[in-house]
Each structure stands twice: as C-alpha cells, then as structure tokens.
C-alpha cells in the first residue's frame, strides 16, 4: 500500500468546484490547466508526453497503475504532466517487465496527484464548462486558500511552452549509412516520432525549437519533420518565421500536432483555443483523400480554424466527432500535416502510413 494512500488531498477547480480524495505521488501542491484523456492503456506514455506540459491530467479509465511503470515506455525524459487525477489507483502491479510501481515512479518524479475522485463527474464539468485551471494539494486543507492561489495561475492561452521542453542542443540518431537525412524540429517531441523515421531507414538530426533555418539547412536534410509540443501555437512567432523560410526551400515537410499548427500559421491559417480539447486513443478521423476513416491518438487543446482557408491549402482530414480540421496539404509546396499522432505508442496504428507517405514524398523530391 502506498505510504500516502491515507493522506487526504484536495482538488479545486477555477469555477470553485472542490473534490476530496487521497494523495498519490509526492506530498505537495501543484497547478495547471485541467484536461482529461480517455485512453484505456498507455498511461506512462501519456504522462511523459511533452505536449501535456503545464496540464493536470484526469485519467478517465477506472484503474491506473495496475501494470506499473517501465523505463522504455517513456516518450521523453520523465513525467511532463503537472499533476494527476485518478479514480482507483494501484501501487500493486502484475507486469513482469515493469521496473517499479507507478506510485514509486510518481514519487521519484516529484509528481503531485490525487486518487479516489469521481472522475466521471469531474470530466463532465470540464466537458460542459471547458478547460480551466485547477490546483491539487496534499499539504493545504483549506479550499478557500487553494482557490486564492489558483487565481494567480496564468491561462494556457497565449503561453509559449515549447522552449521549456525542447532539447537543449542538437543531436543525431539512426542508421549512419542511411540514404535519407531528416531534420526534426523538436517542439516537445515524443521519442517515437524519430523512432518511426529511423525504422524507415532515415538518419535524423533533432534540433531545438528555436533553431534557425540556416542551422537546419546546414544539416543538409532531404526532409523536415515538425514535432508535437505544448502551449499556444500563436505565441511561437520564432517557429512560424523559421517554417515560412523553410517552406520556400521546397524541401518536403511533415508536421504533427503542434507542428501541424505551426505550418498552418506559416501558411496564413489561424488557430484557436478549443473548448476542452481532444485527448485520447479513440478519436475517429476521415481521410478525405481516400474516403477511409482511421482511429487516432490525440492530445491538443488548440486547433486550426476552418475559416478563410487560403487557396493553396487543402483540408485533407477532419474529425468525425466535431468536424474540426485534422490535417492539411500545401498545394504549391511538398508539405502536409496532421493534428493527431500517427506515431502513437502503444497505439492505435491506423495512421502509421503517414510516415510511409512522407518517405515516399522525400524520395520523389530527392
């Protein structure tokens, strides 16, 4: 049994809602924008996804922790979520390859969380009232004090966060005898993005979010990949300007999630903050080019506006739940994007073909 399992904890939302539960992970206080993920597995990949930086995560699946933690399941260097909310939490696990219990993993990562919360009721609040800031504490028992502290937390809208989770310096990986070289602009990259490129025979150079176009071009890339990441894309003027410059080179380009939004902004589209975002492993998307539907992994609180789409842009994918833009193609440049995660680990794998499409596009232009 967790040493914190009997320690009371409080969750307070910006609308004044208060939830009582028990502490998990580190004893302390944490704040962030609250959101929910509907995935039934892959919780460690979710916790370590840099796109969640600055967010308190509600896991809607009933049981969390039952298969422990495993070092190789990390999508970045450690946990990136700001806090965790679950219903039933288990520090016992039955996975032979697990390296620790999830509670030990949370403790080592200094993550503050709360369990025994009615996550169904909590998720309904977020769905009906929209994303809002929240605070978790296992050291302060006065909800009025917590609500007062919460008022000091900035809104996610307008926040530039990629520079806080990107790599500090360029690094390279993949087969050294590869025929293709792909530069990856790391806005908060999940490790599996580079892995999917390496598995297809490409050598990758991973660059910090604020790398210049010249630095990227000096790598002599055959293709350019723009990764996922956290925060408001419209606050990333540095990246938008760099991508505008890179688009002029006609080097094939593929953007995922935040990368999709940055390319869209560079091409004259607009982005907006969503009511409560898309986060889960089960979002249906229509590929308008093939007429086929794919089940996708998603994690984003901002989206590309479907209004005033420039004539050189084709919307290629739409979300079948709410018709939001899920992908575009630049007609006069070898560039395309998707809002979701084709590299999703542990899955689904419906969209892995996009990496094959990117490699094909690069070979056609090489």
Per-residue pLDDT tens over the stretch 40-82: 999 999 999 999 999 999 999 999 999 999 999 999 999 999 9
Q: In which band, very low, low, confident or very high, does the pLDDT at 2 lie, cut at 50, 70 and 90? A: low
**Nearest residue to 36 (alpha-carbon basis) of 117, 101, 94, 150:** 117
**DSSP code, position 89:** E
User: What pLDDT does residue 167 have?
Assistant: 97
Closest CA to 83 of 143, 36, 16: 36
Q: Tokens 């990246």 appear where?
A: 239
Domains detected in the chain? 8-150 (3.50.30.20), 162-365 (3.40.50.880)
**pTM of the full structure:** 0.95
User: In what helix (H) or strand (E) does residue 341 lie, and over which residues does it extend?
Assistant: none
In 65-127, DSSP assigns E strands to 83-85, 88-89, 112-115
Residues belonging to the active site: 257, 341, 343
- Nearest residue to 251 via CA among 362, 136, 91: 362
Give, rounded to a whole angstrom, the gap between the first and last alpha carbons of the chain.
Answer: 58
Reported as a pLDDT band with limits 50, 70 and 90, residue 301 is very high
What CA–CA distance (Å, rounded) separates 129 from 10?
20
CA–CA distance, 279 with 157 (Å, rounded to integer) = 17
Q: How confident is the model at residue 4 (pLDDT cuts 50, 70, 90)?
A: low
């Amino acid at each position: 049994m967790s040493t914190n399992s009997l320690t009371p904890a409080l969750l307070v939302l910006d609308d004044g809602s208060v939830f009582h539960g028990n502490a998990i992970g580190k004893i302390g206080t944490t704040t962030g924008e609250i959101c929910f993920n509907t995935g039934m597995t892959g919780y460690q990949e979710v916790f370590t996804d840099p796109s969640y930086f600055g967010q308190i995560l509600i896991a809607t699946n009933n049981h969390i922790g039952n298969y422990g933690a495993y070092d190789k399941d990390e999508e970045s260097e450690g946990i990136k979520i700001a806090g965790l909310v679950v219903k039933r939490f288990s520090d016992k696990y039955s996975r032979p390859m697990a390296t620790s219990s999830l509670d030990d993993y949370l403790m080592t990562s200094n993550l503050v969380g709360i369990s025994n919360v009615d996550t169904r009721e909590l998720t309904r609040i977020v769905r009906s009232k929209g994303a809002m800031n929240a605070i978790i504490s296992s050291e302060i028992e006065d909800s009025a004090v917590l609500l007062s502290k919460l008022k000091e937390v900035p809104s996610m809208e307008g926040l530039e966060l990629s520079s806080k989770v990107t790599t500090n310096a360029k690094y390279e990986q993949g087969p050294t005898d590869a025929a293709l070289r792909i530069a990856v602009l790391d806005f908060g990259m999940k490790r599996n993005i580079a892995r999917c490129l390496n598995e297809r025979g490409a050598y990758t150079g991973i660059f910090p979010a604020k790398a210049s176009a010249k630095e990227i071009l000096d790598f002599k890339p055959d293709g350019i990949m723009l990764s996922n990441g956290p925060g408001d894309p419209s606050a990333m003027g540095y990246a938008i300007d760099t991508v505008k410059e890179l688009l002029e080179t006609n080097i094939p380009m593929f953007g995922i999630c935040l990368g999709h939004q940055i390319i869209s902004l560079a091409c004259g589209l607009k982005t907006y903050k969503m009511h409560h975002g898309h986060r889960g492993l089960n979002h249906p998307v229509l590929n308008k080019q093939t007429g086929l539907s794919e089940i996708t992994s998603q994690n984003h609180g901002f989206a590309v506006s479907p209004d005033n789409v420039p004539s050189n842009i084709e919307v290629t994918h739409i979300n079948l739940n709410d018709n939001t833009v899920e992908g575009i193609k630049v007609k006069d440049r070898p560039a395309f994007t998707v809002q979701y995660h084709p590299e999703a680990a542990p899955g689904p794998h419906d969209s892995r073909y996009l990496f094959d499409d990117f490699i094909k596009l690069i070979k056609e232009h090489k």
